[in-house]
Structure 1
Amino acid sequence: MCPMTEFPPAAAIPPAQTARTPGTPWQITAWSLWDWGGASFNAVMTTFIFTALYLTGAAFGGADHASAVLGLTMSIAGLAIALFAPVAGQRTDHSGRRKLWLGINTLIVALLTGACYFVQPHESYLLLGCMLIAAGHVFIEIAGVNYNAMLLQISTKHTIGKISGFGWAAGYLGGIVALLMVYFGLIRPDVGVFGITSADGMSYRAVAVFSALWIIVFSIPVMFAIPESPRNPNMPRIGFFQAYAELWRTIVRLSRTSRHTLYFLIASAVFRDGLAAIFTFGAVIAVGSFGFKTGDVLIFAIAGNVVAAVGAMSAGFFDDKVGPKAVIVTSLAGLVVCGGTMFFLHGKSAFWIFGLLLTLFVGPAQSSARTFIGRLAPAGQEGELFGLYATTGRAVSFLAPAMFTVFITAFGTQRWGILGIVLVLVLGLALLLPVKAPIHAAAER
């Protein structure tokens, strides 16, 4: 491994760009509400309700066929995110229209979500449904690039950890509230709100309309509370294809002047894939290896999101005190210990204890990974760096699912898949340890 260079000197950035003013309580709340609203797409539409219970159901040709089509469209979506996210972030840096593009991309996500209402319970509508969900993932990821970069408009080096943790916590809690409302208002009762029933898949199609409105309503405050980002006068406007050439020059420049940034992007891509696998396969493992029923899974999902929110919120304070790397290392070590212990235990009680401990460590790792990038981003290039962050995360998104599958196939039982995920977390931790930590507020006092 090549020796890491120091951080770029502060003098390299014009003084007018280095100063950041703290956001007001309303600005911080409004920014966090975007995550609260967007969680309905991830929690309701993708993870627990629309995709899991409706789109991959018997009406669409069976779980195996529907899952294969969904997997294909999601793979294409992942490729699109990897290709477009860094350029999208870069172009908003050059144009000074971060808030505008956050609003446009969020509106597109809401429209795609609402369009899922037209996915009727028949196999001929499967491709439409999968394409809408996959396209929604593309645009919510690109919107997230601008959203993450906006964090630097409302935080200082003394508060970025707390505010990032608050945003992650809002996302977890917003997903819970939206999930409870649709489950008890539309899915569980025979006759839901407004007399909606399950006939013709209407209860699930109504969930799509609810989620679209949820996204729109909670994305409005940030549009009014936070001013548009100023355009960097040192960055000329560039065309779409020119942006890729500029992106390559940025990567080359980072490799020469700030290699620790590239190292972190690689390390975070690996451990973030392991974090995603915990949520992706957690419910599957609970049912297949620990005897959970459908109702148990829902209750655990709610409890797990609450614990993850608490973890993200509390870790934000430690992030500002000791820096993001210490929080991430501690969290990954906790995840490895809890996941390894869970492998050897049996029964619902064991999963409840160590499963909740896993979620406690997931939130801090996610939140501090974002602040790590935020502390590294030069003024005026926040969007570009967060775009690279999104791209590298997608580049290895196959790793944890592959290790989960390989371990199950090799040893014959689902329980071994736990070790596959743990191994990915260990690899991510090993890659992170040599990375130079960014300077945090407490270190300068």
Structure 2
Amino acid sequence: MTNSGAAPVPTANTEKNPGTIWQITAWSLWDWGGAAFNAVMTTFIFTALYLTKNEGFGGADKATATLAFAMSVSGFAIAALAPVAGQRTDHSGRRKMWLGINTLIVVVLTGACFFVQPSESYLLLGCMLIAAGHVFFEIAGVNYNAMLLQISNKHTIGRISGFGWAAGYLGGIVALLIVFFALIKPEVGIFGITSADGMTYRAVAVFSALWILIFAIPVMLAIPETKPDPNEPKVGFFQSYKELFQTIMRLWRHERHTLFFLVSSAIFRDGLAAIFTFGAVLAVGSFGFETGDVLIFAIAGNVVAAVGALSAGFFDDKFGPKAVIVTSLVGLLVSGGALLFLDGKEAFWIFGLILCLFVGPAQSSARTFMGRLATPGHEGEMYGLYATTGRAVSFLAPMLFGWCIIIFGAQRWGIIGILAVLLLGLLLLLPVKAPAHR
């Protein structure tokens, strides 16, 4: 892998004072609130226990296939729209405004899931609402990630990014516990809500919408709006794609290390996502976990991941994000490899939690790596590319996971597919020249 020029000086507000404690806390609370969409709506509760499990929607196979198709369409939409959305907010100087607008759309789409009744005629509506919410949540995340550079400098970006990731993990835990004990577990939940007509899970959608909205308010109050660049001309929507192509060509000619990082991070981030996607499946199918065990492990795993992300932020600021990512990927490969040859709940508890410990730092430092590489005034565009490249290879780990099961004849061997993706991402990252770091 070649490098066509020296790595630029870190650009994460290198000479400005870091954000205030209130600004940092308010910024992190958006991630805390957003966990209700990720953890409650799209991962553990609404889609897993309602859309794909309730027989009223036409059976698990049909519901799962419909949801998968809707999510694949949303992935294409994110890949097409994210970089241009980030670029246009850089030019217009309306980063906070678009963060607020996109978050509000997510709130509306999440709340609208209340109207999804357990009937086959409502299946497509439910899947479309979740998929559309996913698109706008990811686009909001582009502006949210770029906002990190407004409240940090080169000495603090790692810690602040880690704090944000930790807030997201912990927010997911709290939201899950609330909906589980207040709505799902009791026969009659709060306000007399029961499972009749799917009302339990429809109420979860309302709770999630309110949770996202409430915790999005602080960032809108605490972080100042960005100012437009007077030297940047206004361009139309389709002209933005031309500028995007020019940006990619510029990166290839002058900042090739940035382009290589985008590729390598897309691959290893797909492996990180697969750990969460298939972790519970493996726990139940290969290590003897029951439903209650999975919930307890999910809580413990999120706590450990939060601690890892929070503590790794200090190492990021001290040694740089590349060192943290490489160490985390090696730790993931070792602990994941151990699960190939060990049996029983105890083994999964030990090495599964070690996996969680390293996932948080890898995710957080990948974000700060991008922040240190971003050219001032183009942070949104770079995080848009960051989101797009991640979507471009999101099929890789699930595909290899499935093929390894078919080839080796047992679910456990799907771990090899995930490890292969992590290893490939690590190998592609090693030659990438990190931004200058003190």
TM-score in same-fold range (> 0.5): yes
TM-score by length of 2: 0.98
Q: Which of 48, 69, 76 is the equivalent residue of 2:44?
A: 48
| Aligned match of 2:5 | 5
Distance 1:115 1:29, change over 3 A: same
Report if aligned partners of 1:21, 1:153 keep a CA contact under 8 Å in 2: no
Q: For 1:261, which of 258, 261, 264 is the aligned residue?
A: 258
Matching residue's letter, 2:47: T
Which residue type is aligned with residue 19 of structure 2?
Answer: G
Question: Secondary structure of 1:179's match?
Answer: helix
CA shift digits 1:218-276 (9 cap, x unpaired) = 00000000100121222111110010000010000010110000000000000000000
| Residue pairs, 1:163-178, within 5 angstroms | 163-178=160-175
Q: Which runs of 5+ in 1 are unaligned?
A: none
Q: Deviations over 1:45-79 (max 9, x none)?
A: 01110000000012211111111000000000000
CA spacing shift, 1:9–1:288, aligned 2, 3 Å: closer
Contact 1:94 1:232 in 2 (8 A): yes
Assess, with a 3 A threshold, how the Cα gap between structure 1 residues 100 and 200 changes in structure 2: closer, same or farther. Answer: same
Q: 8 Å contact 1:92–1:101 — kept in the other structure?
A: yes
Match of 2:430 in 1: 433
- Count the aligned residue pairs: 436
Instruction: Tell me how far 1:21 sits from its aligned partner.
Output: 2.8
The residue aligned with 1:28 is 24
1:75-224 matches, cutoff 5 A: 75-224=72-221
Supply the distance in 2 between the matched residues of 1:413 and 1:267 (Cα, whole angstroms).
Answer: 29
Q: Residues 326, 8 of structure 1: CA spacing in aligned structure 2 closer, same or farther, 3 A cutoff? A: closer
Superposition map of 1:296-375 within 5 A: 296-375=293-372
How many angstroms apart in 2 are the aligned matches of 1:140 and 1:9? 31
Secondary structure of the residue aligned to 2:207 is helix
Q: CA deviation at 1:9?
A: 6.6
Counterpart for residue 38 of structure 1? 34
Structure 1 residues 25 and 402: CA distance shift in structure 2, 3 A = same
Residues 18 and 379, structure 1, Cα contact 8 Å, conserved in 2: no
State how far apart, in whole Å, the 2-side matches of 1:158 and 1:346 are. 43
TM-align CA RMSD: 1.1
1:32 Cα offset (Å): 0.1
* 2:270 is the counterpart of 1:273: yes
Task: Output one character per residue of 1:200-224: Cα deviation in whole Å (capped at 9) or x when no partner.
Answer: 0000000000000000000000000
State the AA in 1 paired with 2:6: E
Q: Offset of 1:18 from its aligned partner?
A: 6.2
Q: Is the 8 A contact 1:20 1:153 kept in 2?
A: no
On the 8 A contact 1:98/1:228 being kept in 2, the answer is yes
Look up the match of 1:407: 404
Do the aligned residues in 2 keep the contact of 1:8 with 1:257 (CA within 8 Å)?
Answer: no
Q: Offset of 1:4 from its aligned partner?
A: 4.2
Report the Cα distance in structure 1 between the residues aligned to 2:294 and 2:149, rounded to whole angstroms. Answer: 37
- 1:280 is displaced (CA, Å) by 0.3
Q: Is this contact kept in 2: 1:4–1:436, CA < 8 A?
A: no
- Equivalent-residue separation in structure 2 for 1:195 and 1:49 (angstroms): 20
8 Å contact kept, 2:7–2:434: no
Q: Which amino acid aligns with 1:257?
A: H
- Tell me the SS of whatever aligns to 1:344: coil
Q: Which residue of structure 1 lines up, in the alignment, with residue 393 of structure 2?
A: 396
- The whole-number CA distance in structure 2 between the counterparts of 1:84 and 1:418 is 32
TM-score by length of 1: 0.97
Deviation at 1:130, TM superposition (A): 0.3
**Percent identical:** 77
Choose the corresponding residue for 1:387, options 384, 389, 412: 384
The 3-state SS of whatever aligns with 1:434 is: coil
Q: Distance in 1 between matches of 2:388 and 2:123?
A: 28
| Contact 1:95 1:231 (C-alpha < 8 Å) held by counterparts | yes
**CA deviation vs aligned residue, 1:314-336 (integer Å, no higher than 9, x gap):** 00000000000000000000000
Confirm or deny: 8 A CA contact 1:45 1:211 kept in the other structure: yes
Give distance in 2, aligned partners of 1:211 and 1:41.
Answer: 7
- AA of the residue aligned to 2:5: T
What is the letter of the counterpart of residue 141 of structure 2?
A: G
The Cα shift of 1:8 comes to 4.0
Cα distance, 1:3 vs structure 2: 3.5
Instruction: Answer whether contact 2:36 2:212 (CA < 8 A) is retained.
Output: yes
User: Does structure 2 conserve the Cα–Cα contact (< 8 Å) formed by 1:35 and 1:168?
Assistant: yes
> Tell me, what secondary structure is at the counterpart of 1:105?
helix
Give the unaligned 5+ runs of structure 2. none
Amino acid at match of 2:7: F
Runs of at least 4 residues of structure 1 off by over 6 A? none
Structure 1 residues 18 and 326: alpha-carbon distance in aligned structure 2, compared to 1, 3 A threshold = closer
**CA contact under 8 A between 1:255 and 1:262: conserved in structure 2?**
yes
Residue from 417, 421, 428 that aligns with 1:420: 417
